[in-house]
A and B are shown apart, each in its own frame.
Chain A
């Protein structure tokens, strides 16, 4: 049943690149049996966050605090909406700026229609 010789080389890209891949598996998958030391991983605050979000870089995570996912469009549709409205807001400001800077020309363009 074991034919290790037929296995291709590991494809891991670099030594630290795959912490996220490892955590996904060792925290969230694998066989669960009750040990003598009772630890419910779901009680662990950090792990609960991790299981949902999968932290890929320890240093980066510390740097960023742990509320980044709320503003990440990939993880939250709420954030996606926020991003859109922020973009709208930026555009409105930019238009107002341009209009202020050059009111006559914009007036002119409107008349051309």
Chain B
């Protein structure tokens, strides 16, 4: 036991250019390439005291550690995305040594090659749609209610107009999702993000990932901007380009289900 393990970020076709020197992986480690079976794994050496079985189990329960590790994982995958179309692995895929990594490449080679072939030249874009709440009317504009009935009437009015605004935003979200789906090769819908935790204002109505060929990326981005710009009832947020995380797993069919339950709610 040498006290160092191998953390694997992604599997790629042989890279045509090296990773930039300043890219750092988890725990500040320097990523390098392990070649095998016509594939490359991008890995880095990590301390066993942090990534050994028990340590890892404990650290995954630590939100601060999890955030740092997730960001570092993504940073390496992101750097790779500028060079090629990487297959990102799930967080915390760890081997004892380079031989272990080679074995994994050999065992999975057929599937890796097939998936790389399927996703080559594609990137993922994330799009989120939020309902934008209209500003509350100034309290001074309305005198205090003079009766219980008046109070209830006003309350009902407020609730109705809020519901109408939300409905309008939901419709826009649906239309946007349909338009983007038509421009994408594939789509995954994520559960809505929680506004309390994301501290982003407005209810998250749509949270989806779209698989788009690189050469059509600009077109896709332009479409998002065009569709998102013209209505004050919604705010549209675009993230990416991501490595095709959402499309890399082969168990795709049962992940597509969400379009109705969680998407545009």
* A interface residues with partner B (beta carbon < 8 Å): 1-4, 6-8, 10-13, 17-27, 29-39, 41, 43-47, 52-58, 60-62, 64, 68-69, 72, 74-75, 91, 94-95, 98-99, 102, 105-106, 109
A68 to B196, CA, bound (A): 9
A92 to B194, CA, bound (A): 30
CB < 8 Å A-B pair total: 211
Q: Does B152 contact A (CB under 8 A)?
A: yes
By the criterion CB–CB under 8 Å, are A29 and B246 in contact?
yes
**Most chain B C-beta atoms within 10 Å of own C-beta, residue among A10, A37, A47, A68:** A37
Output the least CB separation between B72 and chain A (Å). Answer: 10
B200 surroundings in chain A (CB, below 8 A): 17, 56
Output the least CB separation between B193 and chain A (Å). Answer: 5
**Please, could you name 7 A-B residue pairs with CB atoms under 8 Å apart, sorted by A?**
A11-B237, A26-B74, A26-B245, A31-B90, A39-B92, A56-B200, A57-B197
**Most chain A C-beta atoms within 10 Å of own C-beta, residue among B61, B92, B107, B249:** B92
By the criterion CB–CB under 8 Å, are B126 and A21 in contact?
yes
B221 surroundings in chain A (CB, below 8 A): 8, 11
Size of the chain B interface, CB-CB below 8 angstroms: 79
B63 partner, pick from A10, A43, A61, beta carbons under 8 A: A61
By the criterion CB–CB under 8 Å, are A74 and B56 in contact?
no
Given A8-B218, A39-B56, A99-B148, 9 extra CB contacts under 8 A: A2-B121, A3-B215, A19-B70, A26-B74, A33-B89, A36-B95, A36-B96, A56-B200, A109-B149
A81 to B192, CA, bound (A): 19
